[in-house]
Amino acid sequence: MIKAVLFDLDNTLIDFMKMKRSCSEAAIRAMIESGLKIDEQKGIKKLFDMYEEYGMENQSIFDRFIREVHGKLDYKMLARAIVAYRRVKAGHLMPYPNAVKTLIKLKERSLKLGIVSDAPVKQAWLRLAELNLCDFFDVVVAKGPKTKMKPHAMPFKKALEALDMTPAEILFVGDNPERDIIGAKKLGMRTVLAKYGQVIHNPKVKADFEINDISKLLGIIDKLNSNE
């Protein structure tokens, strides 16, 4: 019997990569307008290469970028990049289509809901608050100083303990086969691959279900619970 649904956050509930791309493009343009000597497309590629190296949530990434390209840190350039990024973020951070409607319907079915994310805990809560999603979730597990990242069992177990449920009572939804699906399956949770937000592909990792729209979760849960 499925009693709870746990979600990854970025690229599962929130279209994170679309937002990140738009914000980063705006920041690069602001730097170029402030005197940075680099082609816009080359700048975007370099910035995303640095995200890969230092992390998508790295708070000093623009400092590093300017030093590498410009030779030294220019605070006017940095300030304009940060402001441009924030302005675009306000208009581009949004849940996927049907996400809010689906969360409402899941709560109407008396299911517990939770987040297990590799985003830093402060950033995870900020994103939920910006989209007015906080009150949907009974537990939020995100990356803290002592929290391991998925697919390590720790974040999944923390969510289970908070919900006081067994893995067999949980359906886990995520976009990353190597972190979300492998990690949840190892503990015995049933899994759903959110193909609509998928960035990392690994055909060798198979989820129990795959969906192209988050609303399809409702039918999966109804089917699972009608068979038990």
Tell me the pLDDT of the chain (228 aa) as tens digits. 999 999 999 999 999 989 999 999 999 999 999 999 999 999 999 999 999 999 888 989 999 999 999 999 999 999 999 999 999 988 888 999 999 999 999 999 999 999 999 999 999 999 999 999 999 999 999 998 888 999 999 999 999 999 999 999 999 999 999 999 999 999 999 999 999 999 888 989 999 999 999 999 999 999 999 876
Per-residue exposure over 169-180, b if at least 16 CB sit within 10 Å of its own CB, e if not:
bbbbbbbbbebb
The CATH class that applies to domain 4-15+95-226 reads alpha beta
Query: How much is the pLDDT for 91?
Result: 80
166-192 pLDDT per residue, tens: 999 999 999 999 999 999 999 999 999
Query: How much is the pLDDT for 228?
Result: 62
Query: How much is the pLDDT for 225?
Result: 92
Query: How much is the pLDDT for 199?
Result: 87
Q: How far apart are the first and last CA of the chain?
A: 6
Every domain of the chain with CATH number 1.10.150.520 lies at 17-92
Query: How much is the pLDDT for 5?
Result: 98
In 3D, which of 97, 111, 96, 95 has the Cα closest to residue 218? 111
Every domain of the chain with CATH number 3.40.50.1000 lies at 4-15+95-226
Enter the tokens of residue 54.
């230092």
CATH annotation of 17-92: 1.10.150.520
